[in-house]
Amino acid sequence: MTPPSRLALRGDLLDFTATPDWGATASAAVRYRPDHWLLIDAGRIVGAQPGAQAPDASWAQFDHRGQLILPGFIDTHVHSPQLDVIASYGTELLDWLNTYTFPAEQRYADAGEAAAGAARFLDALLAHGTTSAVVFPTVHKVSADALFAAAQARGMRLITGKVLMDRHAPDGLRDDVAQAERDCVDLIQRWHGTDRLAYAVTVRFAPTSTPEQLAMAGGLCQSHPGVYMQTHVAENRDEVRWARELFPEARSYLDVYARAGLLNERSVLAHGIWLDDADRAALRDSGAQIAHSPSSNLFLGSGLFDWRAAEAAGAAVSVATDVGGGTSLCQLKSLADAYKVQAMAGQRLTAWKALHAATRGAAQALHLADEIGSLEPGCMADVCVWDWAAGPVAQRRLAVAHDLHEKVFAWMTLGDERNLAATYVAGRRIQA
């Protein structure tokens, strides 16, 4: 059955028109329109109007009164094969990779496993309220192909690319510079700019790439304008020490990427916990962003990211689940954990700052704000409908909340994928 072209969703609309200030619970950046119709035509948002002004019969109407309607979440750092290792016990980063992650990723050399894993992963993202993502597959070209194809079939905005890893990894997970370059070029030509897909030059992390491979990756960024770059940086202290040993000529771990031509306005660097002021200035000057992954950082014991310092330096910060280091694909859980991380540093992360970083802020950092991240006319209708509260505890908390921020903060803190009522991608309902 062909879905209707013109949709009208009725509910409480929440998005952002600007960047909220740190610590401000009353913010002009918040656009809250209770009981409004969100109008969608041919997959794009075309407007909104009060609930009392019902659209005419040419619009298919869906009544979500009493529910919250937000832009779909954007996850700026997540690993598609790592659903198999989520909630794995007892190790820090480097041991965790060798014990759990690398064996799971080896299975994705098989085309059937890669296709099944891509479908399972993307369906799980959508079932958790995430409609766009920046994703690590595996070193295998087939895993990137499968992920692109599955995202295309679902109409999703996805940024991904074959992982580059030519040393310090087990058999079956290493590539070589020449073949990796050929694979990347082929994937770029096939997928980058096709439908809602974009390619990311994907360096696993500096220790698993030789200087020659890093230089090749920098060359790909230079010769293919518009591609993204994704990697990890300064997640764990042992990892930072290892990078220093492997690249003694670099001023810092981040500088390894800068020297290879991998630091630019389309660079997405996961974690960034152990950075200094010079690193933060380099992020600001290059336009690169940090994909803050609080749940993963807590679970693996990696450290506490200083969001306030990054923002003060002018560096962009988005929020990510980093599954499987993180323990849920639900961005609400990431945001609740981000609050706890900042509280440990004596800072208070508002619901507005947190939600902005997972919607409009992430879209801006990815240069996609004209497509995703808000309910602005012209954006694609990637929209999620949420119950304000699930269960008697959350319902009571909602009932006694005094103002909008208190209500939204309680929803963000107590909510999870059980609150999700519907997911729309480009105006097509795909999650009941």
Candidates 121, 132, 144, 139; CA nearest to 192 is 144
CA distance 216 to 60: 51
The predicted pLDDT at position 4 comes to: 74
- Residue 355 phi, psi dihedral angles, 5° rounding: -65, -35
Contacts of 8 (CB under 8 A, 6+ apart): 37, 38, 39, 40, 55, 59, 60, 61, 62
Q: What DSSP string describes 306-369?
A: -HHHHHHTT-EEEE---TTTSS-S-HHHHHHHHHHHHHHTT----HHHHHHHTTHHHHHHTT-T
Work out whether strand 316-319 and strand 228-233 pair parallel, antiparallel, or are unpaired: unpaired
The predicted pLDDT at position 2 comes to: 60
Helix (H, G, I), strand (E, B) or coil at 63: strand
The predicted pLDDT at position 3 comes to: 64
Question: Position 118: which residue type?
Answer: A
Q: How far does Cα 387 stand from its chain's mean position? A: 22
Cβ proximity of 248 and 207 under 8 Å: no
The predicted pLDDT at position 98 comes to: 81
Instruction: Write out the chain's pLDDT in tens, 432 residues.
Output: 466 789 999 999 999 999 999 999 999 999 999 999 999 999 999 999 999 999 999 999 999 999 999 999 999 999 999 998 888 887 777 787 888 888 889 999 999 999 999 999 999 999 999 999 999 999 999 999 999 999 999 999 999 999 999 999 999 999 999 999 999 999 999 999 999 999 999 999 999 999 999 999 999 999 999 999 999 999 999 999 999 999 999 999 999 999 999 999 999 999 999 999 999 999 999 999 999 999 999 999 999 999 999 999 999 999 999 998 999 999 999 999 999 999 999 999 999 999 999 999 999 999 999 999 999 999 999 999 999 999 999 999 999 999 999 999 999 999 999 999 999 999 999 965
Angle at 398 between CA 362 and CA 127, to 5 degrees: 45
- Structural tokens at position 9: 């969703």
The predicted pLDDT at position 1 comes to: 47
Tally Cβ neighbours within 10 Å of residue 330. 27
The predicted pLDDT at position 85 comes to: 87
Return the bridge partners of 68, or none: 12, 386
- Residue 300 phi, psi dihedral angles, 5° rounding: -90, -5
The predicted pLDDT at position 209 comes to: 98
The predicted pLDDT at position 96 comes to: 76
DSSP state, residue 207: G
Q: What DSSP string describes 132-177?
A: EEEEE--SSHHHHHHHHHHHHHHT-EEEE-PEE--SSS-TTS---H
